[in-house]
Amino acid sequence: MLLISDSFYYCTECEFFLHKACAKLPKMKPIWHHDCQLAALLLTSDYIFRCEFCHFLSNGFAYKCNACGGHMCLRCQALRPDALTCPGHEHPLLLYYDIKGQCSCCGVDIPSAFSCKDCNYSVEALCMLLPTRARHKCDEHLLALTYHDTNDYSKHHYCDICERKRDPKCWFYHCTTCDTSAHVKCVLGEHPFIKTGRIYKEGDHPHPVTFVKKIKHYPACTKCGEPCEELALECAEAECNYLVHWKCMNPYASGYGFLKYKDF
């Protein structure tokens, strides 16, 4: 569910794209940070699932545990306990469970993190998984994850999306061409790993429904009557006006991967 910039595979008949690395993932794989420590099965997700590690909702691929049935997204399965490189730091980072301090990415207190043994630099696991590039309607260019704000002028430490202050010590997304800067949460939104246009196969509506975001003119939800401003499900039949918020379809399925990032 991340942007493609390297080699990839695609279907000539439909909009189906795979990173080369994703296409070559093994069908069975043990995942060290999963409690069961058993092999997992790779599957294509035609329904929505919540990753047990990052808690984000996704309708991409997942590893599903054969023992407990838990799902893990492909971003989280790639985490390793050994040394990882971080573009925002020159030294490799190792996983430590006794960290006392704050995450250099989001600024929150962390009990465990990937940390540099040579200097006071620590990044928690969820921040290590942030996409390095993202798209948002606030800018026509791709926004890059930026690790240091070199501009000392205080007026520039604002988010161009929500117009609230940014902490210059925290990571943010930035466009060098337009000088656009924004909070990570404002750019990614609540559901960054849901692909629109995918058919949703659960629920009691008689016709196929697909995921949509930010529909023009914000039509009203069929169930609650409020405008559909975020993730929603729309009937694929042209003559049917069925449109419902994802949160109305399943009130317990709202994404909460970014709850800790209140101002990040």
Dihedral sign from CA coordinates of 19, 235, 45, 52: positive
Q: Please state, in angstroms and rounded to a whole number, the distance separating the CA atoms of residues 168 and 104.
A: 11
Q: Are residues 67 and 12 in the same domain?
A: yes
pTM check: above 0.75: yes
Domain at 202, CATH number: 3.30.60
Residues 143 and 179 placed together within one structural domain of the fold: yes
Identify the pLDDT of residue 85: 85
Q: Mind listing the pLDDT tens digit for each residue in 195-214?
A: 888 888 777 788 888 888 87
Residue 259 pLDDT: 43
Tell me if 88 is assigned to some domain. no
The answer to whether position 89 is within a domain reads no
Q: Please compute the mean of the pLDDT values over residues 170-196 and round it to a whole number.
A: 92
- Write out the residue range of the structural domain in which residue 244 sits: 196-264
Given 77, 104, 119, the domain boundary residue is: 77
> Do 58 and 73 contact (CB within 8 A), yes or no?
yes
pLDDT tens string 225-256: 988 888 889 998 888 989 998 888 775 455 55
Whole-number pLDDT of residue 38? 67
pLDDT for residue 188: 92
String of DSSP letters for 35-58: TT--EEEEEE-SS-EE-TTT--EE
pLDDT score of 205: 86
Q: What percent of the chain has pLDDT over 70?
A: 89
Give yes or no for residue 183 having a pLDDT over 80: yes
Give yes or no for residue 258 having a pLDDT over 50.
no
Is 87 a domain residue? no
How many separate domains does the chain show?
A: 4
